[in-house]
Structure 1
Amino acid sequence: MSHIGNKIRAGFFATPVKQGEYITKLLNVKGEGAFLDPTCGEGEILKQLSSSFQSEDCTITTYGVELDKTRAKTAQENLDHCINAPIESMVISNEAVSLLFLNPPYDHTMKGMDDDNTDRKEWTELVRNVRYLKERGLMIYIIPSYRFADKKIARYLATHFSNIGVVRFSDEEYDDFKQCIFIGNKKSGKHKEFNQKLYDFLLNMESEDFVRNQVTPVNVMVGKHQWDVPTGPTELKTFYTKLENKSNFYEGIKNSKGFSAFMERSKPKQLVIGGNPCLPINQGQMALLLASGAVNGEIGTDDHYHLVQGLEIVSKVTEEEERRHDNGSKTTITKERTKRDVSVKVITPKGLVRKLV
């Protein structure tokens, strides 16, 4: 996609409600905690997952981030917390959320001026957001089936997660979306064992025939296995964007002393006519007044309201002087001087422009 507008809209596909129902049945929520969707769209899927387990004894707080303003507004109604901002600008507590739902846009990252290449969003969002998931926290990762065969994605998943399941959308919606679901608990500790069997399995998912024949539909998995979602804090200590919303600046600017001073300076001056100057004003003094803006502003009120504009018109005048010498030769001397003229115009209430000087 070539335009930034298309980039913003790129790859937005909300997870179907039916698939959300199947995923919910695969979860075993142990207790209260925080659920995060860093590319939440309208927040429907995270609301669907959390509402099934909400109770007086189990408080689940939902957090979302959405770039699109319209979708973010809807998500703010569906989720407990949602910020309209790019995920790149977010500051979120590390290792804090119990469940991470990740269905990133299917596109490349934008290329910066100093960048030689770009990465796929499925990869960058995976690496960026797993750090917010607590140890043994559950990640649900939904991307197109062939993208699991990316070596970087496959190696990362095979290294950092255990108790893993890979399923595809149910038959009634797989042909429309061609998406698969990775479910796994984040490993704990610094030293993580590489799962070669999982890595090889994911690389084979580049083949559509392999996915259809070897990857279990999510509805078939229901009732056979469940994944634990551990308990955790319900409130994230850190959850904000480094980018300020421009609407937050309105009141501050409007009430600032600097803005008030600017408004006063930008108002037309109210000129007062009356009395005579202490000394007669010569042309040079008048030019100085005009140049400083002293003869600009308003005069009178109501039917006698006029706008006055004074200008100093500066021009160059060229004069030639011819001198004859005793030997018969002549010399032409060219002189250039600056000429300053005064112009004062008045605009009447009827729009008539009159030139006084």
Structure 2
Amino acid sequence: MARLESEAKAGYYPTPVEEMEYILKRLTVEQGSNITLLDPCCGKGAALKQWQDDMIAKGANAVSYGIEIEKSRAEAAEKCIDHIAKCGYEETRMSHDAFSAMYLNPPFMEMNSERMELTFLRDLTGDYLHAGSVLIFNLPQYVLKDCAKILASRFVDIKVYRFTDKNYDAYKQVIVYGVRRRKGLRSEKERRYQQQIEQELINRSYLGKDAFPSLDTDDWNNVQYVIPRNQKEVQVFMSTKVEEEDILQTLSSSKLFEKVEGKMKDLNITKSKAIRPATKLKIAHMAAAIASGALPEQMGDHLLVGVTKRVQNSEVRFNQKSGKEEEITTFKPKTIVRIFSDKGIINLK
């Protein structure tokens, strides 16, 4: 499998360095301004690092934030960018309205009857960019029609360029530049602009490569998007996904193991004869015993866990006082034993 094909697995298409160079030619900053750059699909961090270095070279104090769900790519990104969340964006906690600009290069694929490019655009550009922030959106040209409504409703000063001839034919990629619109009511003029842009994007999504100018079109002296200084600090940027190494590190730093080991030395543990239950144990008995620690949880290649769930039951009863039928809902606890193994998760009933 060719390298590009391999990296494109699961919809992952890293931006070629030369295309990123042309993208950056249309971005500028104020000298000495503090800016925050967000890449929610940063891969190995190469494009985000290239972007940050360019902004620093142009005089900004740029801080980079990346999100990457694939473990090996996230570990590579961690070595070259300032902040990395090793998870999906759904599992990331981020400060709202705190990012100056976003480079969005989402998976090129469909899931649950919706294009992922649309899903990422909708979920990520609503809360995290403040008014005036700049979006750089990388997607296939034919997907523009799916994203046209949100692009036109949330962004102004929209311009679209296609990849250069060297790289366009592979995935038909285009770059959308836009400035985050202020939130709130819109004037009649703004609504007409939105409708016009939306329809234009839809129409051009069906056309070929001549529908948009190439990124190497020499117009960057006239077309410049100014990335604004961040209006508020990024106080929260973290993964909510708990990894095994995170647990071990936390336990180690809290010296919990030392405390437990010290307590164990004070215990007088003696063995006693096995006790046979009067009747056959039910699932609830086993679950209660496991949850209390009376049974070993680690059993070879699988793990047993006692789980208590709240079960809802609804039935129709006749109310003698009112003379009417009424729906009665009750809740009661139900205890089960759950098995975790390589073969899957199984509930014993």
Alignment TM class, shorter chain as reference: 0.5 to 0.7
Structure 1 segment 133-172 matched on structure 2, within 5 A:
133-150=129-146, 153-172=147-166
TM-score scaled by structure 1?
A: 0.65
How big is the shift at 1:78?
1.5
SS state at 1:237 partner: coil
Separation in 2, partners of 1:259, 1:67: 35
Task: Tell me the alpha carbon deviations over residues 216-242 of structure 1, each in whole angstroms, 9 at most, x when there is no partner.
Answer: 111114334111111115841111122
SS state at 1:219 partner: coil
Shift in CA distance, 249/13, structure 1 to aligned 2, threshold 3 Å: same
Match of 1:127 in 2: 122
Shift in CA distance, 23/252, structure 1 to aligned 2, threshold 3 Å: closer
What one-letter code is carried by the residue in structure 1 that aligns with 2:221?
G
Separation in 1, partners of 2:134, 2:148: 17
How big is the shift at 1:270?
9.1
How big is the shift at 1:181?
0.6
Task: Tell me the alpha carbon deviations over residues 289-320 of structure 1, each in whole angstroms, 9 at most, x when there is no partner.
Answer: 54259xxxxxxxxxxxxxxxxxxxxxxxxxxx
Separation in 2, partners of 1:38, 1:161: 18
**Structure 2 residues not aligned, in runs of 5+:** 1-5, 277-349
> Please, which of 274, 278, 284 is the counterpart of residue 291 of structure 1?
274
Tell me if 1:201 matches 2:195: no
Task: Tell me the alpha carbon deviations over residues 107-161 of structure 1, each in whole angstroms, 9 at most, x when there is no partner.
Answer: 234xxxxxxx5532111111111121111100000111100012xx111111111
Separation in 2, partners of 1:120, 1:212: 21
How big is the shift at 1:45?
0.8
Contact 1:54–1:60 (Cα < 8 Å) also in 2: yes
Separation in 1, partners of 2:150, 2:93: 23
SS state at 1:147 partner: helix
Q: Percent identity?
A: 28
SS state at 2:136 partner: strand
Separation in 2, partners of 1:118, 1:186: 27
What one-letter code is carried by the residue in structure 2 that aligns with 1:27?
L
Separation in 2, partners of 1:259, 1:243: 27
Contact 1:105–1:121 (Cα < 8 Å) also in 2: yes
Shift in CA distance, 148/219, structure 1 to aligned 2, threshold 3 Å: same
Match of 1:17 in 2: 17
Separation in 2, partners of 1:259, 1:205: 66
Contact 1:253–1:259 (Cα < 8 Å) also in 2: no
What one-letter code is carried by the residue in structure 2 that aligns with 1:135?
A
Separation in 2, partners of 1:70, 1:76: 10
Separation in 2, partners of 1:82, 1:251: 18
Contact 2:131–2:181 (Cα < 8 Å) also in 1: yes
Match of 1:236 in 2: 234
Aligned residue pairs, count:
257
Separation in 2, partners of 1:16, 1:234: 32
Separation in 2, partners of 1:224, 1:174: 24
Match of 1:329 in 2: none
Shift in CA distance, 177/62, structure 1 to aligned 2, threshold 3 Å: same
Bigger Rg over Cα: 1
How big is the shift at 1:56?
10
Separation in 1, partners of 2:55, 2:251: 45
Contact 1:61–1:235 (Cα < 8 Å) also in 2: no
Contact 1:90–1:240 (Cα < 8 Å) also in 2: yes
What one-letter code is carried by the residue in structure 1 that aligns with 2:180?
K
Contact 2:161–2:176 (Cα < 8 Å) also in 1: yes
How big is the shift at 1:42?
0.8
Moved more, 189-198 or 82-91: 189-198
TM-score scaled by structure 2?
A: 0.67
**Aligned-pair RMSD on alpha carbons?**
3.0
How big is the shift at 1:259?
9.5
Contact 1:34–1:234 (Cα < 8 Å) also in 2: no
Separation in 2, partners of 1:56, 1:122: 30
SS state at 1:82 partner: strand
Separation in 1, partners of 2:123, 2:250: 34
Contact 1:60–1:234 (Cα < 8 Å) also in 2: no
**Structure 1 residues not aligned, in runs of 5+:** 1-5, 110-116, 272-288, 294-357
Shift in CA distance, 159/249, structure 1 to aligned 2, threshold 3 Å: same
SS state at 1:154 partner: helix
Shift in CA distance, 41/234, structure 1 to aligned 2, threshold 3 Å: farther
